[in-house]
Chains A and B, each alone.
Chain A
Amino acid sequence: MNKKIVSGLAIAAAATLALGVVATSPASAAAKKTVKLAFEGPLSGAYQGLGKDQIPGVIWALDQYNRTNPAVKIELVKADSQCSGSVAANVAPGVAADKSIIGVVGTSCSGEARNSFPAFKAAGLTMVAPSASAVDLTDPKQKSNGFPYFHRVVANDSFQGPALARYTASGNTSPKYYLIDDQSPYGEPLIKNDVTPTAKKLGTIVGTDSVAQKTSDFTSVVAKVKASGANIVIYGGYDADAAPLFKALRDGGYKGILGGGDGVNTSDFPGLAGSAAEGVRLTAASVPFATLLTAAELADFTKVTGVAVPGLYAETAWTATNVFIQCIKGGALTRAAIQNCVTNGTFTAADKTTFKFQRYGDPSTAALVGGWVVKAGKIEYDKVA
């Protein structure tokens, strides 16, 4: 019995050794390499909608690349940071410690970005963010900037804010603005820092309000807007909150212009707002992905990701992923090489325009903010805002 076991083990050991030698033989140059990209954003918690809208863009981009059977495959690591700075502060060091991750598509939220910077800066890990449009992230004068590792493919709000103020006032000889923000790290700075100065120049601000997200009843806001005599209402926030607000305003008898930023500019928005969406003016540094894809591409997107209609920032997530893909295709397989490639390279966005990254991380095409308007339930491009 013992002898049988021993000899059996010996054969097994020999076989394993032989196999091992073959497997690691330098002659097998056709060995596939895998590198990893991390997606850092909210995939659970109150803001999971944001991350879940973006990640299909990443997944699709990676699938389009991986299915060409390249020498270097890219694997996705999902790093759920719940749009929370405190969670991100733990996630970032963990992601940075995984040496096979050479780039981060993220973060979705500005708060996450700020808390991820220390770890990513120390590890030399490049970030390309699909959203995260807070101005301070790329501001040379701010302590909270992400230089040199943070990049984003969206125009920051210092471009979008003025564009929004201008676009909503076009055709109006005496604009009277009512500005509402959602007290989020996105909406509040957009309105207070970026829209307000331009609005003051173009007309008068007759009222402001800060309405927390997930508020259901807007009656008091409607009352204030009506009492102020405003003819333009601009909302800084997301589609999920803009929709009931705009509905309440229309139902309450407000007849003026309604405007929103890129957080509102989603494929979902007309559905959420119903008839109140009609005529709403939106600006976008990012556009609804579905407007850029052919029917065949959209079908492929749905097949790969299981999502019928691409959500908010799916397009920028796709662009951000392709920045990394392009660099990996060009042979950048280490963090240092990726950083070098990203800071110096020229890339193509989802809308086929080319761009580079500026020194502090903003995209070079930032200044062009598009103006969009909702017509018959569809968001259509109007002009440059």
Chain B
Amino acid sequence: MNLSVIGSQFWSLLLQGLALGLIYALISLGYTMVYGVLRLINFANSEVFMLGTFTTLYMQTKVFGFALTTPTIHGAKLIFVLISSLLASMLVCAVLAMLVEVVAYRRLRAKGASRLASLISAIGVSIVLLEAMGIVTGGRPKTAPRLLEKWSFGEIAGANFRIDTVLTIVAPVVIFIILERFVTKSRLGKSIRAVSMSEENSKLMGININKVITATFCIGGLTTGAAAFLYTTVYENTVFNVGFNIGIAAFTAAVLGGIGNLRGAFYGGIALGLVEQFASALIGSQWKSITVFLVLVIILLFKPSGLFGEAVQQTRT
């Protein structure tokens, strides 16, 4: 156990764990919302994320013409480029997520197929997207240009408040707050919650289930797209199979927090990010995943529905 690291780097690890965890949280919102309405693990979400990162990359390099050697810009211009990339990524991911719903799930839902069939169908979509991108990129990673200079606001107790770290914390929190208000206050949001609780009753209440489901996928796509933008801008690279590990982490976060539950996804993501950072630092990066899963098992042993999950409803195959 490497305890000396904790002494000097504690706040730094905490800050970074928070930042990483919030990226996970945004993606896990996509998983958890879809699960809420469909009781399905949306396996293809990881590839939606991957395509969001490439969209961001495309915007920055092709549309705005940034190369690796382009001098960095500041001020309003920078903000314009960033916002455009963010919106593009969110848009593409939302559209893609809705397409996934149509291709992988809709027909199966109409036929009353088992959830496993939908799962395999989603896996098929995931494979197709991943392989296609692999062929296009030749398997090589792509680097994003440095738009966000790693300029620091300042350090407190070893924790470096760099602008990208701050962005990765502030943006997801803002998005989450907006989303929560939307889900609790707006009509569509309430419909989504209704369908999550009971599809049967919602139908009886005259809610258009298909519309709600499409909207859910759309929202999940929006948050995933935002996460993709943040990821590309902060880590400055992406590769065709980046979605795989991130997807599993985000899904684990959703389960950890209590799947089907927005708050659960949010805090689950944060928890996961923190566990990953501290486990890596204390025990070693090679044991990171195992620690995460063990933590998950322990939490689920005491709280079978996750940290914030309500009592699990009847889940049929």
Contacts and interface: CB of A to CB of B under 8 A. Distances in A.
Nearest to A251: B150
Question: Which size class do B's interface residues fall under?
Answer: 35 or more
B35 to A, nearest CB: 24
B207 interface: no
Nearest to B134: A48
Interface in B111-166: 131, 134, 138-141, 143, 146, 150, 160, 162
A163 B284 CA distance: 26
Interface stretch (B170-178, B213-221, B240-248): B240-248
A10 B138 CA distance: 54
A211 B286 contact: yes
Contacts of A216: 231, 235, 242, 245-246
A214 interface: yes
B50 to A, nearest CB: 12
A219 B236 contact: no
Q: Which of B276, B277, B286 has the most CB of A within 10 A?
A: B286
A244 B235 contact: yes
A49 B237 contact: no
A52 to B, nearest CB: 5
Contact of A223 (B13, B69, B134, B150): B13
B9 interface: yes
Nearest to A52: B138
A217 B20 contact: yes
Contact of A49 (B4, B140, B162): B140
Nearest to A311: B140
A212 B286 contact: yes
Q: Which of A53, A183, A217, A311 has the most CB of B within 10 A?
A: A217
B269 to A, nearest CB: 13
Interface in B1-47: 2, 4-5, 7-9, 12-13, 16-17, 20
Q: Which of A183, A207, A215, A227 has the most CB of B within 10 A?
A: A227
Contact of A243 (B20, B237, B278, B280): B237
Contacts of A224: 2, 5, 9, 281
Interface in A232-272: 240, 243-244, 247, 251-253, 268, 271-272
Nearest to B162: A251
B241 A46 contact: yes
A34 B277 CA distance: 57
B239 interface: yes
Interface in B219-257: 231, 235-237, 239, 241-242, 244-246
B12 A219 contact: yes
B9 A227 contact: yes
Nearest to A266: B140
Instruction: Identify whether the interface residues of B are mostly helix, strand, loop, or mixed.
Output: helix
Contact of A214 (B231, B239, B277, B284): B239
B141 A240 contact: yes
B143 A220 contact: no
B286 A272 contact: no
A370 B9 CA distance: 37
B284 A210 contact: yes
B68 interface: yes
Contacts of B239: 214, 240
A217 B134 CA distance: 22
B140 A221 contact: no
A359 interface: no
Given A210-B286, A211-B285, A48 B139 contact: yes
A243 B143 contact: yes
Nearest to B16: A219
B5 to A, nearest CB: 5
A268 to B, nearest CB: 7
Q: Which of A50, A224, A275 has the most CB of B within 10 A?
A: A224
B25 to A, nearest CB: 14
Nearest to B144: A274
B143 A223 contact: no
Given A46-B241, A52-B139, A227-B4, 10 more contacts: A216-B242, A216-B246, A217-B235, A217-B276, A220-B276, A247-B236, A253-B160, A274-B146, A274-B236, A377-B69
5 contacts: A49-B138, A49-B139, A209-B285, A214-B241, A275-B146
Interface of A: 44-50, 52-53, 183, 207, 209-212, 214-217, 219-221, 223-224, 226-227, 240, 243-244, 247, 251-253, 268, 271-275, 311, 377
A-B complex: 6 closest residue pairs judged by Cβ atoms: A220-B280, A48-B139, A49-B139, A219-B16, A223-B9, A210-B286
